Amino acid sequence: MMRVLVTGASGFVGRHLVPALVDGGHVVRATCRPGRRAPLGTGAAEWTPLHDITSETEWAVAVRGVDAVVHLAGLAHQIGPGAETRESEFQRVNARGTERLAEASRRAGVRRVVMVSSIAVLGPYQGTPFTEASPCAPDTAYGRSKLEGESAIRRLLAEGETDWCILRPPLVYGPGNPGNMARLLRLIQRGLPLPLGRIEASRSYIYVGNLTDLLVRCLTHPAASRRIFVVDDGEPVATQTLIRLLAGYAGKAACLVPVWPWVLRALGRAGDHLQGLLGRSVGFDSYAIDRLMGSLVIDSRAVQSALEWTPPYRQEAGLRSTVQTALEAT
């Protein structure tokens, strides 16, 4: 049994991780924004409200007496007007806030800090599967801030009794997921034609059940000490196949219209312009189109070998669970 602090516990991954830790016999202290406590089933977690995460955040009370920290809290990647002009805000939360947590963990004598970073720290996909050896070249404000957070963890915990582990996942999906997967599923449910019939991209994803299982293992496995791992389900999926799977589980026919890529890019630029006029996201822009059209493949054999870990959920099972939960909520 361990006493584990989970930051950002009311977020998507946190809502799945906390019950998994409690079911495993661990004592959980969970931080969240005031008023955002998430229902955790039978899990009995100790909740610690925490306001904005910055270089001024006081983590001393949260980390006092805990054996390990799982750091999930942060400002997520965003699309829409002004997303890439918020560099200072991303840095304030994801870089400086993480730095402050690492300092507090070291002073409190925490045994291990596990940080969930992002594959975005590696930058645009260049056609070769991402591994732990891939160079970091983030091309977004979000990716740069996560890399700064990683650097703070490594620098501040380079020596002493507190060690660390960093995971770099791609898009995380599962029941209740936000983001691009949720938007895609909503379009499929509405029966709208999707102009992706000429897209030949393949992408890696990770099911939230697989990520939480791996996070639990990272808390104690000796081979996780002071290591960075890229992680995924272990099986990239073609975009067209993904759409057909989601549609099938939703009881819909996938309506894939063959549209030339240059038309999609023009659609993305139109979305950029429309969002600028409206001052809010309209659900598509150049960034979102590029992600739909482009491949992103991860080779996660290193984490599977080092931690003797196999993803417990196959991708098909994870996608089916995601769709079923979405259908039940409508």
287 domain residue, yes or no: no
Q: Which of 179, 191, 178, 318 is nearest to 250 (CA)?
A: 191
CATH label of the domain that carries residue 222: 3.40.50.720
Q: Give yes or no for residue 41 having a pLDDT over 50.
A: no
Q: Give yes or no for residue 57 having a pLDDT over 90.
A: no
**pLDDT tens string 76-122:** 876 555 555 689 999 999 999 999 999 999 999 999 999 999 999 99
Residue 43, phi then psi, degrees to nearest 5? -70, 130
60 domain residue, yes or no: yes
Model pLDDT, residue 297 = 97
In DSSP notation, 158-192 reads: SSSS-EEEEEE---EESTT--HHHHHHHHHHHTT-
Q: Give yes or no for residue 40 having a pLDDT over 60.
A: no
In three-state secondary structure terms, 28 is strand
| For residues 119-148, average pLDDT | 96
Q: Which of 103-117, 149-163, 217-231, 240-254 has the lowest mean pLDDT?
A: 240-254
Environment class of 251 (CB within 10 Å of its CB; exposed 0-12, middle 13-18, buried 19+): exposed
Q: Give yes or no for residue 205 having a pLDDT over 80.
A: yes
288 domain residue, yes or no: no
What residues contact residue 196 under an 8 Å CB cut-off, 6+ apart?
Answer: 239, 240, 243, 256, 257, 259, 264, 292
Q: Look up the domain containing 81 and give its range.
A: 3-172+205-233
* DSSP for residue 83: G
37 confidence band (pLDDT: 50, 70, 90): low
53 domain residue, yes or no: yes
| For residues 120-134, average pLDDT | 96
Question: How many distinct structural domains can be found in the chain?
Answer: 1
| For residues 5-21, average pLDDT | 93
Does residue 54 or residue 174 have the better pLDDT? 174
259 domain residue, yes or no: no
144 domain residue, yes or no: yes
How does the average pLDDT of the chain come out, rounded? Answer: 89
Q: Give yes or no for residue 38 having a pLDDT over 80.
A: no
Q: In what order do the strands lie in the sheet with 3-7?
A: 46-49, 27-32, 3-7, 68-71, 112-116, 163-168, 227-230
Model pLDDT, residue 256 = 92
Model pLDDT, residue 55 = 82
Residue 82: how many CA atoms within 13 Å on its side-chain side?
Answer: 9
Q: Is the dihedral of CA 139, 129, 321, 115 positive or negative?
A: negative
Q: Which of 87-91, 283-287, 319-323 has the lowest mean pLDDT?
A: 283-287
249 domain residue, yes or no: no
257 domain residue, yes or no: no
Number of H helices, E strands in the chain: 12, 11
Model pLDDT, residue 42 = 40
In three-state secondary structure terms, 157 is coil
To the nearest 10°, the Cα dihedral for 105, 111, 116, 120?
A: 80
Model pLDDT, residue 279 = 77
Q: Percent of the chain having pLDDT more than 70?
A: 93
pTM: 0.92
